[in-house]
Chains A and B, each alone.
Chain A
Amino acid sequence: MRANRLGAALAVALTATLASCGSGEPAQSPEAATGRPASSAAQGPVKLTYWTWAPNMDKIVKVWNEAHPDIQVTVSKQAGGDDAAAKFLTAAKAGNPPDLVQAEYQHLPSFIAADAVADLKAETAAIKGEFSEGLWRLVTLGTDAVYGVPQDSGPMMLFYRKDLFDKYGIAVPKTWQEYGDAARAVRKKDPKVYLGTFSSKDPGAFTGLAQQAGAQWWSISGDSWKVAIADEPTRKVADYWGALVKEGAIDDMPYFTPEWNKALNDGKLLTWPSAVWAPGVLSSNAPKAKGKWAVAPLPQWNAGESYSGFWGGSSTAVSAKTPNKAAAARFATWLNTDPAAIDLLVKEAAIYPAATKAQSALGQAPDYFSNQPDFWQQAAAVSAGARGFTFGPNVGVTYNAFKDGFDKALQNGTPFADAVQGMQDATVADMRKSGFTIAS
């Protein structure tokens, strides 16, 4: 009896699988198909696969598929992050990568170094002007080639608890100097509360702050790379946060942990220097504080400046091995520059678009920031002053060195500048080992 029941359950599950497999096929609409030229009808539509982790991308691609019966794109939703980059590189090496891939800016150089992505220079000549120069550099690495179409970007801003700033009588800091003073003031008013925290687990955030200060970690001249992670701006940023942590003015718990969530919920953490996508994180990790946060530009190193850096953001790249490069480039261009497509990206995938025009067209503030109607105007203003830098081919190594080095620095109370030097050394050593020429 039991075995029968198990068997029945198995059968049901299997049929369900088969049925849903069937419905997963891209739907061909006969009306649209009749309109296509006879030549391509004979060959059948071009089929492209697209690896992405952006939410609801299948819905956006459906719109493209309906309008372009000759180029059918299938979305395969992947897990994002560093693992996604490793998986794509492995697939490219094995010879069966997808035709299109979502590539984070910091991972794109490793794809280029592995010859895994195609140069889209000719295909993207017409859309260069749609993006700010800083973002465009992230997909060209400062060379003549174009390795992807920018999709979203993450300019950094300062998110703060407006209600608690009022309660403790703190003004929004305009410079990092003022931020430090405010941190000390908060500690005096309530020893249980911190103005902010330094996370040794999030190299992306530190990278953004270094970019704001003017760091240029990698650069290419001819065939050789220059690595300057321990440059003066980066050391300045590291020393600044190191001093604040050491004197106990700010906390040292990492972001995205349960204790961090709890501190945000309980109002024990008053600011988060983060990127424009922060509302998504805050609304899920600190739902209790909805409507209590506000946004301001990042504090500056010199009063009167308006610089920012990037934390996150990605592009759409075309695999070097795809037999349908032209079709893939057409799709990537449409997805990231067509107004209707960008509109869908913003609404369905909740991204902050890379295209300049689309940034200023954003209207209603995120629900979590309903108290700040000018949220997107602020973001666009910050975005204009955000400066990135060319990422190197082994960002993964650099980021791991960040985590190792800053973990140790926090534990042992050693200077943050040493950790920065460790990142530099590890990065250079790894690039030498992989056969890159390093200019000194």
Chain B
Amino acid sequence: MAATVSHRRSRAGSGRLIGRPVGAVPTALLLIGAIYCLFPVVWVLIAATKSPGELFSTATLSFGTGFLDNVAELFAYRDGVFWLWAGNTLLYAGGGALLSTAVSAVSGYALAKYRFRGRDAIFNLLIGGILVPAVVLAIPQYLLFSKIGLADSYWAVLLPQILHPYSIYLARIYAAAAIPDSLLEAGRIDGAGEWRLMSRVAMPLMVPGMVTIFLFQFVAIWNNFLLPFIMLGDDGKFPLTVGLYTLLAAGANQPALYNLILTGAFLSIVPLIALFLTMQRYWRTDLSSGAVK
């Protein structure tokens, strides 16, 4: 036992020694990737601090002096319509992600742990669904929702995003890996019904996977533009993405509201960052370790 431990240690030690120069390349690549992803965010942050006069006349990466004015102006724009849009976005993203997570978790659990006729057919259909981009479906969905009289309603944006094939796929994979069959068997022997098994045994084990799905869906709906753009006619139901776009394409008659758009874009990513930071702690993958002895 001691031999293996020391063996491991020495391997780890030598690996680190040899790994140093080799590790520099992946680190550099990751750094480049991080810069590539973060630079636009930094740009938005910096641009949001510039007053309209500074926006196109000062250096790209130098902070401006107008952040608070921009924020005040944005909140005053059309009697605070920004808050209405922010509330709508929260409703679409929060409600949609919650419902979608619930549907995905239950379906994924059922697909992973039960054998029934047509299971593989359903699963293959879902895999096929992953391959169809949501963008392609937006207009057919709009025509369908118009037919049943739901276009231009909150449901028009919420419903299409609840069933998300990729999330179900993810939930199935996660359920298969995280819920040991023997645990379910033990539950059955102890006399638990299927509903109790799912709600008390399976779902708690799936929480990390559900958090992942929730975050994915939340971000996807938060950033979704095309579906609400097509579905909604009433600007009181717009989410932030579509709402801010009306500021951008407001015709050429009045001065463009670049500073408001940038500030709005910046403020609208703050909740996403906050969400990721607070939800991170749920990302513990080995919840089930120790459940089965």
Measured CB to CB, the residues of A under 8 A from B are: 2, 6, 10, 13-14, 16-17, 20-21, 24, 49, 51, 53-55, 58, 74-81, 83-84, 87, 90-91, 93-96, 98, 152, 258, 261-262, 265, 275, 277-278, 280-281, 283-288, 312, 314, 349-352
Contacts and interface: CB of A to CB of B under 8 A. Distances in A.
B127 interface: no
A292 to B, nearest CB: 14
B245 interface: yes
Contact of B248 (A21, A79, A275): A79
Given A13-B87, A265-B56, A287-B57, A77 B255 contact: no
Contact of B90 (A10, A54, A79): A10
A435 to B, nearest CB: 21
Given A77-B235, A79-B246, 10 more contacts: A10-B94, A17-B87, A21-B236, A54-B251, A55-B254, A79-B249, A87-B229, A152-B253, A261-B56, A277-B252
A83 B245 CA distance: 11
Chain B: number of interface residues, binned into ranges: 35 or more
B53 interface: yes
A14 B152 CA distance: 19
Nearest to B232: A76
Nearest to A349: B253
Interface of B: 52-53, 56-57, 78, 80-81, 83-84, 86-88, 90-91, 94, 139, 142-143, 146-147, 151-152, 229-230, 233-236, 242, 245-246, 248-258, 278
Contacts of A278: 252
A14 to B, nearest CB: 7
A280 B91 contact: no
A20 B84 contact: yes
B73 to A, nearest CB: 13
B246 A277 contact: no
Contacts of A349: 253-254
Contact of B255 (A81, A94, A283, A351): A283
Contacts of B246: 53, 77-79
14 contacts: A13-B90, A54-B251, A55-B254, A79-B249, A79-B250, A90-B230, A94-B151, A96-B146, A265-B57, A275-B252, A284-B258, A287-B53, A288-B57, A350-B254
With a 10 A CB-CB cut-off, give which of B147, B251, B255, B256 has the most chain A CB atoms.
B251
